[in-house]
Amino acid sequence: MKKIAQSVFLVSLFVSLSGCIAASVVSATIGATTTVIGGAIDVIDAVTPDIIDGNDEQAKEDDKDNGKI
């Protein structure tokens, strides 16, 4: 009976720890992915020109030329 109780205890301990380990692995993976994606966005932002800002400035200049501002 003692061996059965120990077996049940060890199995339940393994199951509970496996959930913790899985959560830790998922958390670490999400953290690494976020870091990689954030770095990629920073590189793209540094390499590409500010197209949206450029269009906004051009629209303001066009409005000034047309007397809207």
pLDDT tens digits for range 8-59: 888 887 777 777 778 888 888 888 888 888 888 888 777 776 665 555 566 6
- Residue 14 has a pLDDT of 79
> Measured between alpha carbons, how far is 45 from 41 in angstroms, rounded to an integer?
6
- List the structure tokens of 7: 């077996």
Residue 69 near residue 63, CB atoms below 8 Å: yes
Q: What is the pLDDT of residue 8?
A: 85
Q: What is the model's pLDDT at position 17?
A: 77
- H helical segments located in the chain: 2-47, 51-65
Q: Which residue has the higher pLDDT, 65 or 33?
A: 33
CB contact set of 60 (below 8 Å; sequence gap of 6+) = 69
What's the pTM value of the predicted model, to 2 decimals?
Answer: 0.45
